[in-house]
Amino acid sequence: MSASLLISELHDGVRTLTISNPGKKNAIDAGLLDALEHALRDDTGVRCWLFDSKDPTVFCAGYDLLQLAAAPDGSFPDDRLADVLDLISRHPAPSVALINGPAYGGGCELAAACDFRVGSPQARFNMPPAKLGLVYTLKGLRRLSSRIGEQAARRMFLTARTVDAIEAHRIGLLDVLAADVRKEAEALCWELAHHAPLALAGIKRGFELMHLDHDADYERLRRQAFESEDLRRGRDGFLSKKPPTFTGR
C-alpha cells in the first residue's frame, strides 16, 4: 500500500495535510510527494498549513528505503523530496507540524521545513544517513542547520543519534513541547491565520533572504504590504484596540 495524503479544512483558512501510510510508519514515497506538491499549489484560501499524521504514534519514518535508488536520468529520489519541502518552507502561508512520535530522516526534514513544530513528550528526531551510507542533500543540511544551528545539525547527522523531545525543545527543533499537542498546534494555527497574510508572506521571505543586502522581490513585498488595505485595518485596529479582520489585500 502506498502513502496517501488526507486534506481537510480546520477553521479560518487552516488547511490540514495528514500523512497516511499505516504499513510503513508514514514513510514518504513518490506518490506522497506528488500529492504534497499538488496540495501546496492548490492553495486558494489557505492562511496556515497544519501537517499531521494519521497514526497517532508516529509522525513520519522518512523516505521509503525500498524506493531509495537513483533514477535512470541520474537524479536521486531525495532531490525530489528536497524540492517538495522547499514548497512548504517558501510558501507564503505559515506552516505548523504536529509531532506525536518519531520523525526520522525525511520526516525530520519535513518537520524542519515547517515554520513551527509542536511536539508531545513522545516526539523523537533522528537523521540516519551516516548509518545508511548516504550523503544527504545540501538543501536538507541547510534546512536543519537553519532551524537548530550548524553545530547541532552536525551532531545529528554525523552521530545519527536520536534526539528526544526535551533535547529537541532545548535546541529549537521543537518550538512547543506540550502534553495536549493537538490543542497547542491548532491554537498556534488559529493565531497565525488571523495575522495579515501579506505581512506574513513578506516576513517569511525576508528570513530566507537575511544573508543578502538587497533583494528586489523582498522590496516588492514590502511595498505591497505598505500599500495594502490590511495595513490600514491593522493600524486602525491597533489604535482603536479592536482586533482587525485581515483580507490579504
Q: Where does residue 170 rank: exposed (0-12), middle (13-18), buried (19+ CB within 10 A)?
A: middle
The residue count of the chain comes to 249
Q: Sheet containing 4-11: which strands, arranged edge to edge? A: 4-11, 14-20, 48-53, 95-99, 116-119, 176-177
The pLDDT score that the predictor gives to residue 1 is 63
Rounded to 5°, angle at Cα 88 from 160 and 70: 55
Backbone phi, psi, residue 48, to 5° = -160, 145
Q: Where does residue 135 rank: exposed (0-12), middle (13-18), buried (19+ CB within 10 A)?
A: exposed
The pLDDT score that the predictor gives to residue 231 is 66
Dihedral sign computed on CA atoms, order 163, 175, 187, 93: negative
The pLDDT score that the predictor gives to residue 244 is 80
In tens digits, the chain (249 residues) has pLDDT values of 678 999 998 888 999 999 999 889 999 999 999 999 999 999 999 999 999 999 999 999 999 888 766 566 767 768 889 999 999 999 999 999 999 999 999 999 999 999 999 999 999 999 999 998 888 888 899 999 999 999 999 999 999 999 999 999 999 999 999 999 999 999 999 999 999 999 999 999 999 887 665 566 656 766 777 678 886 787 677 678 788 888 888
The pLDDT score that the predictor gives to residue 222 is 67
The pLDDT score that the predictor gives to residue 50 is 98
Give CATH 3.90.226.10 domain extents, the chain: 4-193
Q: Sheet containing 163-164: which strands, arranged edge to edge? A: 102-104, 124-126, 163-164
Amino acid letter for position 215: D
The strand pair at 4-11 and 95-99 is best described as: unpaired
Residue 27 contacts residue 59 (beta carbons within 8 Å): no
Residue 32 contacts residue 6 (beta carbons within 8 Å): no
Pick the CATH number of 4-193 from 3.40.30.10, 3.10.20.600, 3.90.226.10, 3.30.1330.100: 3.90.226.10
The pLDDT score that the predictor gives to residue 234 is 73
Nearest-10 Cα torsion for 143, 169, 132, 142: 10
pTM equals: 0.87
What own/partner pairs with CB < 8 Å and gap ≥ 24 does 7-11 have?
A: 7/39, 10/50, 10/186, 10/189, 11/190, 11/193
Residue 114 contacts residue 97 (beta carbons within 8 Å): yes
